[in-house]
Amino acid sequence: MRDIQVELKAPDIEIHRRSPTGTEFVHTFESGKPGPHVMVNALTHGNEICGAIAVDRLLRMGVRPARGTLTLAFANVEAFFRFDPERPYATRFIDEDFNRVWTPETLSGSRMSVELGRARQLRPHVDAADYLLDIHSMLEPSPAVMICGPLDKGIRFARDLGSPEHIVCDKGHANGTRMRDYGGFGDPASPKNALLIECGQHWERAAEHVAWQVTWRFLRALDVMDRELVDREIDKAAAAPQKVIRVTQAVVATSPAFRFAKDFSGLEIIPRQGDLIAWDGDAPVRAPYDNCVLVMPVPHNIKTGLTAVRLGQIDAH
């Protein structure tokens, strides 16, 4: 694993442990006025600290919704409490990926793990939410991307926020279901909706800024906060026009000798069908079509059986 400078300092969230909700590190505030129940979640992965910084800051500010209900949550706190800037890659999770267990069958089953136990604690709060923003970051330096899931309602919601520039429309992961795809969020007939923001490389300073700005854009789009407060927090600079990238397939490493043909970091466009992307052992991985976009490649921590990169096309509409 290559060295990357840890520019962010993990916040002290112990002050947020006790909560009237009865679930540690989950805080819900009701306005008493009609409106949606919106949830901002951080620490789905224990070493993705930009979201923890944003949620900690919101709580310390004492933010309250002007209408509807606001829930602010820290998810995999056990992994986060083990975060060590000297070993920053080590605490993504403890037993299993918290963001692959979100099916009713898994959550209601008898299997146990640290992450499943915490997901079961969070489940009623996620069930109660009409809208979810799940704040993440990435292993490699890359522009921020909004993951909106496979449905048109997710694309529309991402466009309502207006930032970041790149929206990724995908079906998730073969090895488990994400929180943003859980329940009504992944049901085209449900009014519920969810977004997952990848803010940039895990520990770069810019990721903190993206997390803060996207959170306020999420709250503005749902009109649950005082509008003057929202306007003070959102940057005035014009956002870049958004592009939708539709993921067509995932490239799963079948060999420990998987390696990329070039030093890709993300959102590179492979111009021609058949151009080489990587080697999976001795087998070449080639672009399946012209102008193939590489979504979140993992060149330095590839594991056999897991996704090495997703391939997508820019939506022409």
Could you report the per-residue pLDDT of 106-139, keeping only the tens digit for each?
A: 999 999 999 999 999 999 999 999 999 999 999 8
**Amino acid 60: pLDDT:** 98
**Amino acid 2: pLDDT:** 57
Inter-axis angle of helices 205-221 and 152-161, nearest 10: 110
Enclosing domain of residue 308:
245-314
What's the distance, Cα to Cα, between the start and end of the chain in Å?
Answer: 39
What is this structure's pTM?
0.94
Q: What is the mean pLDDT of residues 11-35?
A: 98
- What are the backbone angles phi and psi of residue 243, rounded to the nearest 5°? -120, 140
Residue 263, SS3? coil
Question: 212-240 burial, b for 16+ CB within 10 Å, e for fewer?
Answer: bbbbbbbbbbbebbeeebbeebbeeeeee
Last residue of a domain, one of 213, 233, 253: 233
- State what percent of residues in the chain have pLDDT above 70: 99
Residue 176 sits in the same domain as residue 293: no
Residue 53 sits in the same domain as residue 197: yes
In contact, 17 and 59? CB cutoff 8 Å: no
Question: Within a 10 A sphere around the Cβ of 197, how many other Cβ atoms?
Answer: 30
CA 164, 169, 174, 179 torsion-angle sign:
positive
Pairing of strands 243-252, 259-260: unpaired
Residue 225 sits in the same domain as residue 257: no
Instruction: Report cis status (omega within 30 of 0) of the bond before 299.
Output: no
Does 239 fall in a domain? no
Last residue of a domain, one of 210, 233, 256: 233
Question: Within a 10 A sphere around the Cβ of 173, how many other Cβ atoms?
Answer: 17
Q: What is the mean pLDDT of residues 140-162?
A: 95
- The CA distance from 270 to 147, in Å, is 21
Q: How many domains does the chain divide into? A: 2
- The CA distance from 279 to 257, in Å, is 8
Does 240 fall in a domain? no
Strands (E), 19-119: 26-30, 37-42, 69-74
Stretch (H or E) spanning 247: strand 243-252
282: domain CATH number? 2.40.50.100
Question: Within a 10 A sphere around the Cβ of 241, how many other Cβ atoms?
Answer: 7
- The pLDDT of residue 167 is above 60: yes
Task: Dig out the tokens for 141 from the structure.
Answer: 């330096």
Residue 128 sits in the same domain as residue 41: yes
